Chain A
Amino acid sequence: MKYLHLIWAALFRRKARTLLTLVSIIAAFLLFGMLDSVNAAFHAGSQSALGAQRLVTSSRYSIIQPLPLALASRIAAVPGVEKVGHANWFGGYYQEPKNVVFSYAISPEYLDLYPEIRLPAAQRKVFDATQTGAVVGRVLARRYGWKIGDQIPLNSSIFPMKNGSKAWPMDIVGIFDVSKDAANGLDQALFFHWKYFNEANAFGSGSVGWYIEKLANPAQADRVAQRIDALSANSPNETKTQTEQAFQASFVKQIGNIGLIVGAIMGAVFFTLILLTGNTMAQGVRERTSELAVLKTLGFSSRSVLAMVLAESVLLLLIGGLIGLGIAAVLGPAVTRGSGGLVNLPALPPSTWVDGIAVMVVIGVLVGTLPAWRAMRLNIVDALTGR
């Protein structure tokens, strides 16, 4: 620590070059912060522990193909199924198509299947009794300034009403919070009655998007899933049942292997960064040959000279990297707010900070090693005479 001012001075010996290098490091880690947090957000949903206690039954062929309502009672009779509910994707938006609302038409049991949705009992009662009632997550309510008692038109990009209108009137009767272990985005969801959806939509009735089953015992998930799928075997509506975790993971995979894309982009960015900072460090040490020789003359050990050069390169990466991640942490939520939810950049999760700092240290050590080694091996007499 008492060498810090020496390391600092060495780092900023060539201010312009160091600042340019810093800008590149900041840019690289800003990108890393954004991409990695998006990636983490995509995977967070499939990692909820509650998701292992529920099964999702969807059409075997495509998650957008509907299932018959008649399946509900048969699934309920399967041993190991404690409770069953169902939902449809509504494809909702508010006022303009860019204001996407994650909206679902749900059966009455649905809310009981999701203990992570915290809706006050009184509001629940009103919801159950109101045909056009809707409950919304607190984040969503705040975004559009919705309050209990408001009537809003919610448009569907898929389903017109029987009267030809695409704007479905809904009454906000409840605002819910979500528990910490809820899947990402649940606090931005809107739920309304499947009954209303079923009776009012122009495309016909009796179809269900997917079923949700609560397991009596999560350890029996595989066996129960097989039994449920056996109900529809060889029918035109064959099903595929899996845990909610697995369902979300496969959903993410359909969008594309985001982890791989992030990895490829960051690999290229960091590779360039290594060349750049490596060059900065090598040049910096070469220019300081005689200064390093003087330190050794004064009695600084070869090892401490090595440590100082390594520390310098790690410090360079940490300064730039932390600024980059810091900007990403501020920018993500700001963009999300500014775009009204169209672009949903999550706040930086702790895992991104941890991964980012690890990458900074690794790159710092990587690019510092060769110059540090040179500095350590430096022969004082040769260096002092410029040989």
Chain B
Amino acid sequence: MNATLSELKPSAAPLIEIRELSKAYVRGKQKVEVLHHIDLDVAEGDFLALMGPSGSGKTTLLNLIGGLDTPSGGSITVGGKRIDRMKAGELARWRAANVGFIFQFYNLMPMLSAQRNVELPLLLTKLSRSERRQRAAIALKLVGLEDRASHKPAELSGGQQQRVAIARAIVSDPALLVCDEPTGDLDRESAEEVLGLLRLLNREHGKTIIMVTHDPKAAEFAHHVLHLDKGTLVEQATA
């Protein structure tokens, strides 16, 4: 296992380089600093768990890495690109090509079938309709839901919905997956399935994964665990 992993890792720069990253929210006259001067490198092929008390800034950090939000200070370089300097339109295109998102509450389109949900990111590509369909089918097969392709989200269990969301996140083959409490709403068994799937994507498909979690059992699936406390990082190795 370690051999394959080191083969995946590039010899040069890490996939993600974060320097002096700060984020402050302005609410009315109040300015709340949520992240303070964070430095962090994430190697390509890494599987990182991010833990910490509620309100410590985990989601904020994850959103910044995924390009959903822009920092107040510092820099974020992903794959050699300074995403903190990108304009909204550019950032949207960058997200579409490079990041898959997995949320606690799945965030599927309730009116669309599983298949159509998975196809969504491919609408932004030049792929033909049949190619889109084919790729979505492959992604669904990978998460073990090929027989649920025509089901709407409401007709699926939480675990199944989250697996559809994972299929959607990987269908355009991004290098990076960001997951915000992906098992936060699942029972133990479904959680294990989802985590197993993430591990597979990391090991077999070389996806770099950053996962926020409150669950120490979930964190065990990661190579590293980082602790965030009041907007500052405290690194700890996994057991």
Contacts and interface: CB of A to CB of B under 8 A. Distances in A.
A298 B124 contact: yes
Interface residues on B, range: 20 to 34
B54 interface: no
- From DSSP, what is the main secondary structure of chain A's interface residues? helix
* Residue from A3, A9, A294 whose CB has the most chain B CB atoms within 10 Å: A294
A294 B109 contact: yes
Given A5-B116, A380-B68, A380-B69, A301 B89 contact: yes
Interface of B: 59, 63, 68-69, 88-89, 92-97, 101, 103, 107, 109-112, 116, 120-121, 123-124, 129, 168
A3 B123 contact: yes
Nearest to B103: A384
10 contacts: A2-B123, A6-B123, A291-B107, A297-B101, A299-B94, A299-B121, A299-B124, A301-B89, A380-B68, A381-B63
Contacts of A10: 111
Given A2-B129, A380-B68, A297 B95 contact: yes
Nearest to A297: B101
Interface in A354-385: 380-381, 384-385
A2 B88 CA distance: 23
A13 B152 CA distance: 13
B63 to A, nearest CB: 5
Interface in A306-321: none
A290 interface: yes
Given A290-B107, A299-B124, 17 more contacts: A2-B129, A5-B116, A6-B109, A6-B112, A6-B123, A9-B109, A9-B111, A13-B111, A297-B68, A297-B101, A298-B120, A298-B124, A299-B92, A299-B121, A302-B88, A381-B69, A385-B59
A307 to B, nearest CB: 13
Contacts of A6: 109, 112, 123
A203 interface: no
A296 interface: yes
A13 B111 CA distance: 7
A168 B93 CA distance: 83
Contacts of A296: 92
A12 B88 contact: no
Contacts of B110: 13, 291
B81 to A, nearest CB: 15
